Structure 1
Amino acid sequence: MSGLTIGRLRYLFEAVRLGGIRAAADFLNVAPSAVSRQLVLLEKAARTPLLETNRRGAKPTEAGLLLIDYYREHVSREEALVSRLDGIHGLEYGNIALGAVQGFTDDLMRHALCEFNARHPNVTITLKLGGVNDILNWLEDDEVHLGLTYGPGLDLHAARLKEIVSVVQPVCAIVPRNHPLTRLEAVHVDDLFAYPFALARPGYGTRKIVEQIEASEERQFNVVLETDHLIGLTSFVRAGMGVTLLPAFAVHDDVERGALEALSIKHDLMQKVQAQLVSRRGRELPVGAVKLQRLLIANMLAFKA
């Protein structure tokens, strides 16, 4: 088994991650023949095929998946070791990768990253924004250390992922001041269908909830704008064009200034949504990520009931 080297395992990992030998070769800046040769030696050492190729690219066999998992764990442990050694002399350098739904951005910057940066100015933060499924996939592939998700909760990925903290943060109707909905004693879903909406595109947590409500009510929201940018949703409302759906923490500053209002909606699906901080189960996080994790939980509005 001496042929199962970390260097060769990286070739396998990149071939699967990027979907083929040529793409892996371009990424690793080597010839495709070099990747193929290393994979042949790896299969010889493992005594079994590791890749299945088809029109969609390279797919790992069961043995290939085992070796890829081993490689990921090795990289994770190596990262944790380096982080611990750095931590002996204080957290001075390093990189922490976060994946987040856009609704967390302002809360994250103002209440967590600002303080973290002041304490650890030489630690770089990589922030990747996307939908819930993007973030869960990034976590599984170890592309990010921590994920900030918003939605009904973890489902298909639950076996490989771990909730660090989860707090109920209802979906609210976000409206400008003096909007007709603000004059109601209570806002119900039936009240929403009369107004134009800006909504996140399919794949985002709030949009999934809307789709479930539309199916149960057998009615469609009047969606006039779809976007994957938070600023597009809030600008739509500020311009008086209609309503959007977001958690209150996503528009906290606008509400504090009196520019927008966040109205509670009397519906179970709207009330039971969760803001979650997630990591990959079994991954040992580096020192910096652990410190940031504590700061996120302590300071962010999203994680306050």
Structure 2
Amino acid sequence: MSDFSITRIRYLFEAVRLRGIRAAADFLDVAPSAVSRQIALLEKTARTPLLETNRRGANPTEAGLILLAYYREHVSREEALISQLDGIHGLQHGNVAVGAIQGFTEDLMNRALREFRQQHPNVTLTLRLGSVNDILTWLQDDQVHLGLTHGPRLNLHAVRLKEAASSAQPVCAIVKTGHPLTQLPVVRARDLFDHPFGLASAAFGTRMIADEVEALEKRQFKVALECDHLIGLMSFVRAGMGVTLLPAFFVHDDVQRGVVQALPIRHKLMEAAQAQLIVRRGRELPVGALKLQRMLTANLLAFSAPAVAQEI
């Protein structure tokens, strides 16, 4: 196994991660020929190609995927070992990385990350914001320890991930206080289609649900704004331009201030939405990540009973 050294496999890992030999060389601060040579030596030892290159970049072969999985397991076990040793001395250093969709940001900062930093001031926190697909990819590639998503419940078994916690967090109609929808005794999906909407981009959980509702109801939302950021969607609502679709915990602070209202929607797809805390199956998390995981499930609004501004 000496020819399958971790240092050598790292060249393959970076070439795949960065989609090319030259990009990997730049990142590793070596010549491209050095990366190619190390991968060639790995292929000689494995007696099979490990990398395929085309116009879209570098992709691993089946054998390459096996080596990359071995590399990820080694790195995560080494990280866990260092973390366990450090844990004996009270988490004096280290990093915990979280991937989340944007709507979790306020909940995370106010109810988990602030307390974690107070308890462990020498641990660096990394927060990466993206779409559901981004977060699943980051988890699979061990770029983050914990992932927070919202939307249709995900089938995680096929992608080597598992659910650490979940909570029903229905999609609500988010409207400016006084909007006509607030006058209805019950808001149903059919009541939404006559109003202008600001909707998230296609890769986000609430948009996936909106698309499914359109298909089921055989009607389309009047999309006045499409935006890939929560700030844009909420500015749209606060300006009185229309409605957006989000879980209530995303907008908890605005609801508490009376700026907007989160109206439950009587529809099976809206009501079935879930907040999920996800980890990679089989990964041994470092001590800091385990502590933060427990803090997230205990403290976040996302994993408590849905808090809605108006009972209807």
**Structure 2 length-normalised TM:** 0.95
**Which amino acid counterpart does residue 25 of structure 1 have in structure 2?**
A
Which contiguous aligned blocks of 4+ residues in structure 1 show a shift greater than 3 angstroms?
156-159
- Report the equivalent of 1:81: 81
SS in 2 for 1:278: strand
**1:278-289 equivalent positions in 2, closer than 5 A:** 278-289=278-289
Q: Distance in 2 between matches of 1:181 and 1:170?
A: 17
State the 1:159 CA deviation.
4.1
- Report the equivalent of 2:115: 115
- Report the equivalent of 2:309: none
**Which amino acid counterpart does residue 269 of structure 2 have in structure 1?**
L
**Which amino acid counterpart does residue 194 of structure 2 have in structure 1?**
A
**Which amino acid counterpart does residue 256 of structure 2 have in structure 1?**
E
- Report the equivalent of 1:102: 102
The reply on whether 1:171 has 2:198 as its aligned counterpart is no
Long gaps (5+) in structure 1: none
Q: How far does the alpha carbon of each residue in 1:147-168 deviate from its partner, in whole angstroms, 9 at most, with x for none?
A: 0000112236644001000111
Q: Distance in 2 between matches of 1:48 and 1:184?
A: 66
Q: Distance in 2 between matches of 1:235 and 1:52?
A: 45
State the 1:119 CA deviation.
0.9
- Report the equivalent of 1:28: 28
- Report the equivalent of 1:240: 240
Q: How far does the alpha carbon of each residue in 1:101-123 deviate from its partner, in whole angstroms, 9 at most, with x for none?
A: 11111111111111111111111
Question: Are the aligned partners of 2:8 and 2:42 in contact in 1 as well (CA < 8 Å)?
Answer: yes
Question: Are the aligned partners of 1:2 and 1:45 in contact in 2 as well (CA < 8 Å)?
Answer: no
Q: Distance in 2 between matches of 1:174 and 1:58?
A: 43
The reply on whether 1:213 has 2:213 as its aligned counterpart is yes
- Report the equivalent of 1:251: 251
**Which amino acid counterpart does residue 287 of structure 2 have in structure 1?**
V
Query: Percent identity among equivalent residues?
Result: 71
**Which amino acid counterpart does residue 160 of structure 1 have in structure 2?**
R
Q: Distance in 2 between matches of 1:209 and 1:133?
A: 15
**Structure 1 length-normalised TM:** 0.98
State the 1:184 CA deviation.
0.6
Q: Which segment drifts farther, 49-58 or 133-142?
A: 49-58
Question: Are the aligned partners of 1:171 and 1:245 in contact in 2 as well (CA < 8 Å)?
Answer: yes
SS in 2 for 1:265: strand
**1:188-203 equivalent positions in 2, closer than 5 A:** 188-203=188-203
The reply on whether 1:142 has 2:142 as its aligned counterpart is yes
SS in 1 for 2:3: coil
Q: How far does the alpha carbon of each residue in 1:261-303 deviate from its partner, in whole angstroms, 9 at most, with x for none?
A: 1000000000000000000000011100000000000000000
Question: Are the aligned partners of 1:164 and 1:279 in contact in 2 as well (CA < 8 Å)?
Answer: yes
Q: Distance in 2 between matches of 1:98 and 1:30?
A: 30
Q: How far does the alpha carbon of each residue in 1:87-134 deviate from its partner, in whole angstroms, 9 at most, with x for none?
A: 010012111111001111111111111111111111111111011000
Q: Which segment drifts farther, 120-129 or 163-172?
A: 120-129
**Which amino acid counterpart does residue 166 of structure 1 have in structure 2?**
S
The reply on whether 1:160 has 2:160 as its aligned counterpart is yes
Q: Which segment drifts farther, 220-229 or 289-298?
A: 220-229
Q: Distance in 1 between matches of 2:193 and 2:168?
A: 25
State the 1:12 CA deviation.
0.7
Q: Distance in 2 between matches of 1:98 and 1:289?
A: 9
Task: From the superposition, tell whether residues 156 and 117 of structure 1 become closer, same or farther in structure 2 (CA, over 3 Å).
Answer: closer
Q: Distance in 1 between matches of 2:88 and 2:288?
A: 12
Q: How many pairs does the alignment contain?
A: 305
Question: Are the aligned partners of 1:99 and 1:148 in contact in 2 as well (CA < 8 Å)?
Answer: yes
Long gaps (5+) in structure 2: 306-312
Q: Say what the alpha-carbon RMSD is for the aligned residues.
A: 1.1
Q: How far does the alpha carbon of each residue in 1:213-271 deviate from its partner, in whole angstroms, 9 at most, with x for none?
A: 11122221111111111111111111111111110001111111111110000000000
Task: From the superposition, tell whether residues 84 and 156 of structure 1 become closer, same or farther in structure 2 (CA, over 3 Å).
Answer: closer
Task: From the superposition, tell whether residues 22 and 81 of structure 1 become closer, same or farther in structure 2 (CA, over 3 Å).
Answer: same
- Report the equivalent of 1:69: 69
